[in-house]
């Protein structure tokens, strides 16, 4: 058991977030006095924690939070991976991710703190492929760079440059963070799986990246802080952190798909359609529509970027204790709870939407527009236009009938999402109806049924 008493009184910024609250618990369990700082706390802090609900952009609140603190763990950040965004959004992310670091660092140093650990990210160097690289690689400079990468790199430089006698600093660069109750990646993955979107590997799905289990990441933070001091090995340094098992996104979430009763994807699709969709999604953010995928997220999905953790093992005495298999096993109850709370209108794969909307769009264009029919048949011979019109009428009737049928079946089964199933089947027809029938048969019930916890002890 590590002796954490040298850390003294600790401040954790971003304490309401996933990493922050787990770090707070670890420090409290070690008997330390802890001050938790965040603009909101979705989960209650342990008893005895000094909770400060405020914003890192508030100078007075930051100064007050830093009074009497010995060790600072700065976990607060905005994760915005857009490369294109309105000016006000760019200013907000910069003020939190860079301005917030500067305020906390200056206030804590002025108040007499002696150690500061910054939670950074592998993103600060991800602008080209890396396979087993160490911390000597340069900061990302090749555009397009997203807001998170730009601001986290700038913040890391500030913190490492501030290392000096009496105030020592280091930065930790985790890959993807996962574990029970993780509020971002797991909900997104479960939602994609339930909607039928996790069925194809983009670009072959063979590129690999780093991930780290939450308990190991928390341990790295306390060890990083302990390695700071007059003769500290971590002084002014940055460290990559992972579970040592880099793998593709599709392989990483394969156990989640299996837990929910689905098969992991084997088929592959080219990158360019997804890249086009990500480009469009980022432009739509100017209209206030949050992008479902950004260019940086896609880049990380299809580009190798995994790193050596030898420096962290050497300087911090840290070693990951949780591999992918055990980490995902501990996440099973969380996956089941997520699935149980999500609407059960499962979406057919995107390719179904494209194929059916494309086919219906073409059919109705040819049926309703004489000029479109003439242009098309001048290139490709086709049935007489009256036949195309008959096909369009039958297709419309079938979709309306299937939509009404789906609604009535779902309502009879007392599904709270009956209207959603009706609308989706009206639009898509058979692919949606097939998923509804599977849902009504209870194909996924064994995977989602409550039972004894499978979480390892």
**Under a CB-based contact definition with an 8 Å cutoff, are residues 118 and 161 in contact?**
no
Residue with tokens 């938790």: 36
**Under a CB-based contact definition with an 8 Å cutoff, are residues 78 and 71 in contact?**
no
Return the exposure string of 417-433: e unless at least 16 CB atoms fall within 10 Å of the residue's CB, then b. bbebbbbbbbbbbebbb
**Under a CB-based contact definition with an 8 Å cutoff, are residues 240 and 254 in contact?**
no
User: Among residues 18, 130, 139, 148, which one is catalytic?
Assistant: 148
The distance of Cα 327 from the centroid of its chain, to the nearest Å, equals: 17
CA-closest candidate to residue 194, choices 248, 247, 145, 261: 261
- What span, in angstroms and rounded, lies between the C-alpha atoms of 190 and 330? 16
Q: Judging by DSSP bridges, how do beta strands 71-74 and 10-13 pair with one another?
A: parallel
Backbone angles phi, psi at 73, to 5 degrees: -110, 110
For the beta carbon of residue 154, count every other beta carbon within 10 angstroms.
16
Return the exposure string of 44-71: e unless at least 16 CB atoms fall within 10 Å of the residue's CB, then b. ebeeebeebeeebeeeebbbbbbeebbb
- What span, in angstroms and rounded, lies between the C-alpha atoms of 249 and 196? 16
**Under a CB-based contact definition with an 8 Å cutoff, are residues 243 and 211 in contact?**
yes
Per-residue DSSP letters for 290-320? PPSS-HHHHHHHHS-EEE--HHHHHHH----
Backbone angles phi, psi at 443, to 5 degrees: -55, -35
**Under a CB-based contact definition with an 8 Å cutoff, are residues 388 and 373 in contact?**
yes
Phi-psi domain of 429 (left: phi exceeds 0; alpha: psi -120 through 50; beta: other): left
Residue 47 DSSP one-character state? T
SS3 19: helix
Strands of the sheet containing 237-241, edge to edge, are: 50-53, 34-38, 10-13, 71-74, 115-119, 168-174, 237-241
SS3 27: helix
Catalytic residue flag (residue 239)? no
Q: Which residues are catalytic?
A: 148
């Amino acid at each position: 058991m590590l002796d954490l008493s040298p850390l003294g009184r600790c401040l954790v910024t971003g304490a309401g977030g996933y990493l922050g609250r787990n770090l707070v618990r670890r420090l409290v369990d070690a008997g330390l006095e802890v001050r938790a700082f965040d603009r909101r706390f979705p989960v209650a802090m342990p008893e005895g924690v000094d909770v400060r609900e405020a914003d890192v952009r508030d100078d007075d609140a930051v100064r007050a939070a830093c009074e009497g603190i010995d060790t600072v763990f700065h976990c607060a950040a905005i994760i915005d991976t857009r490369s294109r965004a309105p000016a006000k959004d760019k200013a907000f992310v910069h003020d939190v991710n860079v301005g917030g670091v500067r305020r906390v660092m200056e206030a804590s140093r002025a108040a007499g703190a002696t150690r500061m650990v910054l939670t950074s990210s592998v993103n600060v160097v991800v602008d080209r492929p890396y396979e087993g690289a160490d911390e000597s690689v340069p900061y990302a400079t090749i555009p397009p760079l997203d807001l998170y990468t730009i601001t986290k790199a700038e913040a890391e430089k500030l913190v490492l440059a501030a290392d000096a006698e009496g105030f020592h600093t280091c930065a930790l660069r985790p890959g993807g963070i996962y574990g029970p109750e993780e509020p971002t990646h797991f909900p997104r993955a479960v939602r994609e799986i339930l909607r039928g979107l996790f069925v194809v590997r983009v670009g072959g799905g063979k590129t690999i990246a780093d991930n780290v289990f939450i308990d190991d990441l928390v341990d790295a933070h306390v060890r990083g802080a302990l390695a700071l001091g007059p003769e500290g090995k971590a002084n002014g340094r940055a460290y990559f952190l992972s579970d040592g098992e880099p793998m593709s996104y599709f392989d990483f979430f394969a156990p989640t798909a299996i837990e929910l009763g689905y098969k992991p994807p084997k088929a592959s699709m080219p990158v360019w359609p997804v890249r086009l969709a990500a480009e469009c999604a980022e432009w739509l953010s100017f209209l206030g529509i949050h992008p479902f995928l950004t260019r940086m997220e896609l880049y990380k999905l299809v580009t190798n970027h995994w790193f050596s953790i030898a420096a962290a093992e050497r300087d911090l005495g840290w070693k990951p204790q949780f591999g992918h298999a055990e980490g995902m096993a501990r996440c099973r109850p969380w996956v089941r709870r997520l699935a149980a709370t999500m609407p059960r209108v499962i979406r057919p794969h995107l390719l179904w939407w494209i194929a059916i909307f494309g086919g219906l769009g073409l059919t109705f264009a040819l049926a309703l527009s004489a000029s479109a029919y003439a242009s098309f048949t001048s290139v490709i011979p086709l049935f007489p236009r009256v036949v195309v019109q008959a096909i369009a009428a039958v297709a419309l009737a079938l979709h309306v009938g299937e939509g009404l049928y789906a609604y009535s079946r779902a309502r009879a089964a007392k599904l709270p999402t009956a209207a959603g199933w009706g609308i989706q089947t009206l639009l898509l027809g058979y692919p949606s109806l097939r998923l509804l029938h599977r849902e009504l048969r209870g194909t996924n019930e064994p995977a989602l049924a409550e039972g004894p916890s499978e979480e390892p002890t």
